[in-house]
Amino acid sequence: MNPVDAKARTAGEAGWHASRYNLMAKVPETKNVAIANLFKGNCAEYTPIEMYLLSVLEELDEHHPIIERFAKRGVIVNFDERAALETMGRAACAKSGQVGLTICPTMGCNFDCPYCFEEHGRGKMSQEVQDDVVTLTTRMMDASNAQHLHVTWFGGEPLLATDVIESLSERLIALVEDRGGTYTSDIITNGYLLTQDVTDMLGRCKVESCQITIDGLGATHDATRHLAGGGPTFERITANLRNVRIPFRVSIRHNVHETNFSEIDELKAYVERLSEESGNRLLYYAAPVSGNEVADRRGKQVGLLCNSDASEVSIRQEAGRFRAGRGHFCGAHTIWHVGIDDRGNLQKCWEAVAEPEISFGTAHDWNPADPFATASNPDNLTMYLNTACPIPDDECHECVWLPLCVGGCPHTRLFSGRECIAFKDNPEAYVLALHARIGEKG
């Protein structure tokens, strides 16, 4: 007797269902719909017939050709995405492919920006602390078996301590190369001291990118990014960007608030012209200013954007860095990324480098091979790690935006409360911003 063929299954019986992380928007002047899948990090346009097939997905034969296409783009899945995000979050805590250090060679700064989250002062990193940083890096590379070290130079204004950057860079590069590993770095600077000699030194120190903030054109910038004690900075910074040969990429950050929001397009065009004229790789991006305790204590808080304006700026920013869901927000969610201030205090977030009271240890004593026994305050370590997925927040747990925001900034969540993305209630605008980028390289 011939064997009886197995009954054909539907896609639903085979476990296929629409992703819980799809966002949709009708494409203007067409009958098509754009779908962004936040778990997969994919955005594509779909015809009415494709949308119909999606609506009856679970009734289709499991071998229908549309299944493969939908699945490749993440629009449909046959697994629990939220459970996968939670697993990714747990894994990120111990992920050891790379050691990341944010090093502050000084907490001093030559600027006095009203929205800055730091209180500046003190000198620069001593030789003793530099030795501790190298020893800590050795311990971290040993414990993690990582083959890559990435350093972000931060502050204060790091270029006030170029000798520390140069000396530590040489030692850290040698440490990694002796192991057969790789080293990269970037720097966050106000750009005021970015002379040709300094830039050449940064190139030798394997700096691959730089972030400089420009808050508007001329007087608009100078109103918020002025020298300590007063004094303009716009002309000096832009002269450096124009006249200095910069071998690495420079991201021009525009901290957008109520008084400079109107200059977004004009400043973007200015940066593009400056890039063309100078031959330097200058890339503009806008980021909304948010409140913080230090600025509030100073009494100099700049006017924050209203919700609609913040949404517009946030949409531009997030659409430009669309990526697949990852289960963790930043390096604060992994044990192998730490911030180090000029005195050797360790932090899980660079926004906390000026707050030694929430340091979890020191570069001299902490050993990631035994992270809690060697921490001076283990709770200040675990509280950051435990904000990763699975997030202890029922609303976040159910939210469609979870793969994108992953619960938001850990530092903000811990000390100010959950802060949802500004465009949470405007998914269509975000999807259309992503749709406009379809076809871009990468």
Residues 104 and 150 in one domain: yes
pLDDT confidence tier of residue 103, bands split at 50, 70 and 90: very high
Which tokens is 385 given? 């790690």
Write the CA distances from 58 to 33, 55, 272, integer angstroms. Answer: 20, 8, 49
Per the structure, the complete domain to which residue 31 belongs is given by 17-79
Residues 208 and 315 in one domain: yes
Q: Picking from 21-25, 208-212, 225-229, which range would have the lowest pLDDT averaged per residue?
A: 225-229
Kindly state whether residue 4 falls inside one of the protein's structural domains: no
Residues 234 and 365 in one domain: yes
pLDDT for position 278 = 97
Considering only CA atoms, which of 246, 249, 251, 219 is closest in space to residue 233? 219
pLDDT for position 299 = 43
- CB-based contact 184:206 (threshold 8 Å): yes
Kindly state whether residue 71 falls inside one of the protein's structural domains: yes
Residues 49 and 183 in one domain: no
pLDDT, one tens digit per residue, over 227-262 is 988 899 999 999 999 999 999 999 999 988 888 888
Specify the DSSP element, H or E, that contains 197. Answer: helix 196-204
- CB-based contact 115:289 (threshold 8 Å): yes
Q: How many domains does the chain have?
A: 2
Kindly state whether residue 268 falls inside one of the protein's structural domains: yes
Kindly state whether residue 8 falls inside one of the protein's structural domains: no
Residues 359 and 420 in one domain: yes
Q: What's the start-to-end Cα distance of the chain, in Å? A: 56
| Final residue of a structural domain among 9, 44, 79 | 79
pLDDT over 90, % of the chain? 74
Kindly state whether residue 442 falls inside one of the protein's structural domains: no
Residues 72 and 120 in one domain: no
Write the CA distances from 301 to 223, 228, 295, 308, integer angstroms. Answer: 12, 16, 5, 20
User: Model's pTM, two decimal places?
Assistant: 0.89
pLDDT confidence tier of residue 370, bands split at 50, 70 and 90: very high
pLDDT for position 257 = 81
CATH of the domain at 191: 3.20.20.70
pLDDT confidence tier of residue 31, bands split at 50, 70 and 90: very high
Kindly state whether residue 105 falls inside one of the protein's structural domains: yes
Residues 157 and 279 in one domain: yes
With 80 as the cut, is the pLDDT of residue 403 above it? yes
pLDDT for position 86 = 93
Residues 153 and 203 in one domain: yes
| Final residue of a structural domain among 53, 79, 105 | 79
pLDDT, one tens digit per residue, over 59-94 is 999 999 999 999 999 999 999 999 999 999 998 888
pLDDT for position 297 = 46
Residues 204 and 310 in one domain: yes
